[in-house]
Amino acid sequence: MSYRFAFDIGGTFTDLVLLSSDGSVKTAKVLTGAPDVVAPICAGLLAMLKEHDIKMSEINEVVVGATTAVTNLVIEKKGAKTGIITTAGFRDVIEIARELRYDLYDLTTLGPDPIVPRELRYEINERVDASGAVIQAAHDDEIESVIRQLVAEGVRAIAVCFLHSFTNPAHEDRVKLIANNIAPELYVSLSYEVLGEIREYERTVATALNACVMPMVGNYLSAIENGLRNIGLQATLQIMQSNGGVISREIGERMPIRMLESGPAAGALGAAHSARQAKTPDVMAFDMGGTTAKACLVTHGKPSITTEFEAARQQRFKKGSGLPVRLPTVDLIEIGAGGGSIAHVDKTGLLKVGPHSAGSSPGPACYGLGGTRPTVTDAALLLGYLDPEGTLSGAVKLQPQLAANAIEEHIAKPLGMTVIEAANGIHRIVCEHMAVAAKIHAVENGRDIRRYTLLAFGGAGPIHAREVARRSGCSEILVPANAGVFSAFGLLVAPMKMDMVRTRYTRLAEMDWTSVEALLHAMEVSLRKQMVSAGVLPDDIQFRRSADMRYVGQGFEVETELPALIQESEKVRIEKNFQQAYEVRFGTQLIGQRIEAVNWRVEAAAPAPASVSHTSGGKFGSAVSTGSRTRQCFFPDINDFVQTKVLQGEALQGGESYSGPALIEQPGSTVVIGPGDQFVMDEYDNIRITLGAKSGSHA
């Protein structure tokens, strides 16, 4: 027997998974340590090995991880002191940003603060034109002077962003060479490596963000790898990227911005894997953890990918209020609060939930770790969804009285209602907000959420899935095995992947086919070198080509699939692919309009790791009918408590259909099934729930 190990460091919990060669899974959930994230991982792994009598030598040395570290550094503005070197005249691009306000009716609206203050933004007299020709060469003495000034200012990292460097990177490369000679301790981020495409603001933002987190992430990833080695696991660490593929630790240290949505992307990959396995290819992946809830559309077994991601929004649900990061990212939308999100009564007397979170320290009031503010988890405990006599993933003993005290003091008394009414209000508000956001996300992507199955995971996802599905119009719910640590499981089914983009304007009718093929081939060569250096065999690498295309005159593009070889005979096929992609996104085509390509993309991927599908293979047994445990559970659609049977996930084996209400307790999560709902466990240990006629209607 051999095992593969993965961990997902979240804001509240760190999830650990051991996947065996026979397909069985061992899991653990530990509180995330701050600032020491290594100790919980090591302690959790050692406890798992002891509990299941597994030897350290049986674990594969390739360990895959996901982390919120980059996200937290960006949101909390705790990156390193960073300087920018740019082309003369472009110093203030990062502050001018775009002319659009994210709230048209608020004249006082402020956009996100520039990542780098003006006094640390320097210009170089250099210029390259759109074709890559050097108009004005950069002089070494000027570059050296600017670098020395930045060093004197105390910067630890430099972002270099020259005009048209993605066409000719010579000047950016020169800056890095000189910086390495003058101050080898400096971290240098080059824009053509981070984001090789047009739009100066977006490219500068991505490069600056990458630079400011580089000093922290390098030490962070190395500490994890070394910590695992210190307990006897000769680990080679790989890290999940935002695009749904893993990369080596070395690439992660050089391009940490690619890890911005590391953990949530892993969950989406796991959702896609389970959806394909369960022959339910169209799902809305719903991931609710301790801090946030996110959703992702998985269509035909593949998660949606976008380049329109935003980080550190001024207002969480206001598109355009954050920093644009145009790197390929699994199309996740933050749709709501997490289990640790704090409920409060605002100045107008309305009940609100979030955006502030109790995190893991002090945590929800019911943890008994010092938290006194009511949270979503406290409400779930009082409504009966969590075991009042139990522990949360074995990490903390739940204390219902502390939850009741917090909700009574901060919600029930100010609003003149009972504690249960207040708890129900918290639960309903959270679910309603998530349902509305999920519906909007689906519509924006040209999809009808009512035709999708809600696939729920995360520590809090299966608790809230029924109410979210009921309010969004979904009639079916799929809860995968090990839902509480599902993002960590997703790490073990993700392929290694790298991508690259280059801008080259060309109209389809006037395309220089040979030149474009040469450009794409050169990108493939570069990506192949990076993949091979990360340990991938050359013959295992598969390439996917695409282009950002639009109708002439438009200011936005649609990603369009390209054939493996670009030649004039493929012109009609490319045009057809674009028209289809455009219609899927916008519901129509423009007839007789000229088409142009703006950006050319190549994705290099290795096959996903081979994994055995573990099946229970037995009958459903009599666990439901003979189960003696019950507890009172509140269901919003009937506005009352119901005596509800409590089942252990491991006692269920697949086969027959049963009726709710029921609570199915899994390691790290609880599945809530309401009155009138039907449920069954399939051969892969997924719980499939069909909402009843009454519960399926919005109430």
Band the pLDDT of 311: cuts 50, 70, 90.
confident
Q: Tell me what the mean pLDDT of segment 651-667 comes to.
A: 81
Q: Tell me what the mean pLDDT of segment 370-380 comes to.
A: 94
Q: How many CB atoms lie within 10 A of CB 39?
A: 11
Distances in whole angstroms, Cα of residue 401 to Cα of each of 155, 272, 638: 50, 40, 25
Q: Tell me what the mean pLDDT of segment 249-272 comes to.
A: 92
- Read off the pLDDT of residues 427-472 as tens digits, 9 standing for 90 and up: 999 999 999 989 998 988 888 999 999 999 988 999 999 999 999 9
Q: Do the Cβ atoms of 482 and 548 come closer than 8 Å?
A: no
pTM: 0.88
Q: Tell me what the mean pLDDT of segment 253-276 comes to.
A: 92
Task: Indicate the CATH number for domain 75-217.
Answer: 3.40.1360
Query: What percent of the chain clears pLDDT 70, i.e. is strictly above it?
Result: 94
DSSP string, 309-327: EEES-SSTT-TTSSEEE-S
Band the pLDDT of 611: cuts 50, 70, 90.
low
Q: Do the Cβ atoms of 263 and 432 come closer than 8 Å?
A: no
Question: In this predicted structure, what is the pLDDT of residue 177?
Answer: 98
Question: In this predicted structure, what is the pLDDT of residue 258?
Answer: 95
Task: Answer left, alpha or beta for residue 626, where phi above 0 means left and psi between -120 and 50 means alpha.
Answer: alpha
Question: In this predicted structure, what is the pLDDT of residue 622?
Answer: 42
- Read off the pLDDT of residues 175-226 as tens digits, 9 standing for 90 and up: 999 999 999 999 999 999 999 999 999 999 999 999 999 999 988 999 999 9
Spatial CB neighbours of 462, under 8 Å, sequence gap ≥ 6: 456, 479, 483, 666, 669, 670, 671, 672
Residues of the chain with CATH 3.40.1360: 75-217
443 token code pair: 């519509």
How are the residues of the chain apportioned to helix, strand and coil, as percentages rounded to the nearest 5? 35, 25, 35
Beta pairing, strands 121-124 & 82-87: parallel
- Read off the pLDDT of residues 75-121 as tens digits, 9 standing for 90 and up: 888 899 999 999 999 999 999 998 778 888 888 877 888 999 999 99
Residue 71, burial from CB neighbour count under 10 angstroms (0-12, 13-18, 19+)? buried
pLDDT at residue 667 tops 90: no
Q: Which residue is listed with tokens 């940003």? A: 97
Q: Which residue is listed with tokens 């991938």? A: 536
Backbone angles phi, psi at 222, to 5 degrees: -65, -40
Residue 623 CA, chain-centre distance (Å), reads 36
| Cα(200)–Cα(144) distance, integer angstroms | 24
Helix (H, G, I), strand (E, B) or coil at 427: helix
- Read off the pLDDT of residues 540-560 as tens digits, 9 standing for 90 and up: 999 999 999 999 999 899 999
Straight-line distance from the first to the last Cα atom of the chain, in angstroms, rounded to the nearest whole number: 50
Task: Pick the closest to residue 462 from 360, 544, 371, 386 (CA basis).
Answer: 386
Distances in whole angstroms, Cα of residue 608 to Cα of each of 245, 549, 561: 9, 29, 21
Query: What percent of the chain clears pLDDT 90, i.e. is strictly above it?
Result: 70
Least confident of 206-215, 360-369, 498-507: 360-369
pLDDT at residue 16 tops 60: yes
Name beta bridge partners: 546: 561, 601
Determine the Cα angle at 570 with ends 565 and 572, to 5°. 155
Band the pLDDT of 694: cuts 50, 70, 90.
low
| Cα(263)–Cα(458) distance, integer angstroms | 11
pLDDT at residue 393 tops 60: no
Question: In this predicted structure, what is the pLDDT of residue 110?
Answer: 79
Q: Helices (H) and strands (E) in the chain — how many of each?
A: 18, 37
Question: In this predicted structure, what is the pLDDT of residue 699?
Answer: 40
Question: In this predicted structure, what is the pLDDT of residue 389?
Answer: 86
Which contiguous run of DSSP H or E holds residue 182?
helix 170-182
Task: Answer left, alpha or beta for residue 312, where phi above 0 means left and psi between -120 and 50 means alpha.
Answer: left
Spatial CB neighbours of 281, under 8 Å, sequence gap ≥ 6: 275, 298, 299, 300, 301
pLDDT at residue 508 tops 70: yes
237 token code pair: 């660490």
pLDDT at residue 656 tops 80: no
User: What is the 3 state secondary structure string of 269-303?
Assistant: HHHHHHHHHCCCCCEEEEEECCCEEEEEEEECCEE
243 token code pair: 């695009």
Q: Is the peptide bond before 362 cis (omega within 30 degrees of 0)?
A: yes
* Residue 649: DSSP 8-state: G
| Cα(584)–Cα(401) distance, integer angstroms | 52
Mean pLDDT of all residues belonging to the chain? 90
Question: In this predicted structure, what is the pLDDT of residue 653?
Answer: 66
| Cα(87)–Cα(490) distance, integer angstroms | 42
219 token code pair: 């030490």
Beta pairing, strands 662-666 & 640-648: parallel
- Read off the pLDDT of residues 413-432 as tens digits, 9 standing for 90 and up: 999 999 999 999 999 999 99
- Angle between helix axes 461-472 and 419-444 (nearest 10 degrees) is 60
Which contiguous run of DSSP H or E holds residue 401?
helix 400-407
